[in-house]
Structure 1
Amino acid sequence: MAVTLLSNEVLDLCLGKPALRSLSVTHTVADALCVLKKLGDSCVSVWSCHHSSESGDSTIRNVGGGGAAADCRCIAKVCIVDIICYLCRPENLLAPAQALQSPLSVLIPKTSGLVRHLEPNARLLDAIDLMLEGAQNLVIPIPESKSRKKKLLEKKSSLDSTFHKNGIRYCWLTQEDVIRYLINFICLFSATHSEPINSLGIIDTKNVLVVNYDDPASSALNLITESLIHQSSVAIVNPDGQLIGEISPFHLNAGDETTAAAIATLSAGDLMAYVDCGGPPEDLVQLVKERLEEQNLVGALELMEEESGLSLSSWPSFTSTSSDEDGLSSSVKNGKHGGYSARVVRRSEATVCYPWSSLVAVMIQALAHRVSYAWVVEEDGTLTGIVTLSGMLKVFREQFKVMG
């Protein structure tokens, strides 16, 4: 059984995964925001190419890659948090509508290797090694028969940006996917899964991103960007170093572009409440508006107002020729439901464990909360470190060496 696991192909982990939505690097930030809000995806893939249709229409449906061509590759992923951090720049808070017309290239991090291509017949070990080198997402082609490909192409709507011009579709493979797969075979890894995490050397005490409860949320902006790169989070602590909560990219990603105004005006503690379950409290929304007025951030204030005319449907850079838009519900079309994001929203309570927690317990916690980390605290709540999925993968990689 262990030998079989070692030789499994990455395609085994991709079964049932949805195809990637694709945008060209030449599209705008507004285009990406529109796709994320209309379709409810957590992120959208960005490609180095742009294919136009025969009619000359350059809508999102025609963006994609050309298979293995060297000049047509997925080079990044973009999520709501990337857009929020971009809008938080002082010059963009003054003119957010103009900032949203910038090309997607402004959102691509300088850190390379976060997205890597991998063939579907590659080994599971190959995928793990790439992730341990820093890859967050592996781009895997979805094998399909010619007949199925033809049927899918015939049925695809004008908003379907999952197909590339040659008919190839791709999917993501993430660290979460690998950990979720490995946990099904946890019994193969001797007693490692039951050992406490402090005995495995995976508690990171150096790269812990922390901000105090009363600090301005804007002081955490660089930390939020860093947490995106490292797939972690920003801890909020009290003066005694006890963990109170977090500013998590996962929670921020459930919001929308107006969160940039909240980061610019609120404290870290208030921001934690602003992005909490169900959307921001009305008193905090009003506080943000008042402070935007005080700072004369008219553009950001307009971003907060529904009647400002900055709705995505009015932006000229995004066009749609589909009447049914993939059968999206009206709430998702508007990007909101009941005034808030239509994406899944969770409370900003942090996922925590203890130094003596077992590896498998921490794995289950992270998977259950759909996060890539867990904060490590002492009994009194003092923050001591963080455990990431990457650290867990290192443990399994060492076990693979022993097994084969």
Structure 2
Amino acid sequence: MGPATTRPLTVGVEEEFLLVDARTFTVVPVAPLVLATVAGEPAQLHAEGTRYQVEISTPVADSAAGLRVELGALRRSLARAARSHGCRLLASPSPVVAVAQPLHLTDDEPRQREQHRRFGALTDTLVGCGRHIHIGSLDVDTAVAVANRVRPWLPTLIAIAANSPFWQGRDTGHASWRAMAWSAWPSAGLPPHFTSTAHYRRSVQTLLGSGAALDTKMVYWDLRPSGNWPTLEIRAPDMSPDLETAVLQAELGRALVATALREIAERLPEPEVRDDVLRLARWRGAHDGLEGFGLDPYTGTELPAAALAEALLDRVAPELAVTGDLDHAADTLGSLLRDGSGAHRQRAAFARRGDLTDVLRHLADQTEAF
């Protein structure tokens, strides 16, 4: 049976970037200057939580090819503006080297200062960059139902995207330390399994009432119905510097949602997933990345991470074929499995001379390889 939708789901992406000095590769708080330089350019360029960061938000795209064009154009605009201020754009989930304290938070947002007052050292993790994939259009009821079926594959998405082995000047022993550091926020990590939309709303209100979140913008779950758009928002993946991997993440995310919609339409039962297994699978995906092992989300069985990635591709292949993305997704995932994840390539760059500057230069070069 074919997919439940007659037209492709839309997709949009938010990407966060660090700004580093072009000579020393230390992070620099020049986001206001860079954004002022591109003020006359697309409105999809924004400030982020600190003055070390900038963000792009793509227009809504109907195809992965269209998304790639938008990502490339927006990255080029920011990279050009950064260069004009002696900086480079860095698609890095972590700052790699230590960031001077106190942090340069965004000046014009009292919310950021209140966040720092309430959550203290947790705000250090704001100097990290994620990718948020929006798939729509979905009403809240549908997004909640779909999220339950996408949720088991979040650890595999984390492993595929793993690109943050270094943090504060040292190797963390994890492929995605960002996934681990970010989950220290009380409103972050795996979302609950929701029995209904009412359950979802109660969970959000519990976060607010407990003080774990200032507002709904601080619902930092790896997966959530967006608070601003009629989309399901996947927040788990690390930033990746190369465009092909960025597009792959969007392709897999959209295909997972389409697969869930089809299963719901066909009234297929939702496989049972134990929360304790999924929590361990998330850690293992962040620890091993693509180069080691992971846990089958349904059985808890240890399997090669590559096998889990291929199982994900097999699961969503029919939907990828419908949108014309199957060849690109298969080729890009194949390249990652053959050449190594982003984390693997960062470690290889460091191993050549034992110098973290080489890692930062590698990330900057990849980010600007349009």
Normalising to structure 1: TM-score of the pair? 0.29
User: Which of the pair has more CA radius of gyration?
Assistant: 1
Normalising to structure 2: TM-score of the pair? 0.31
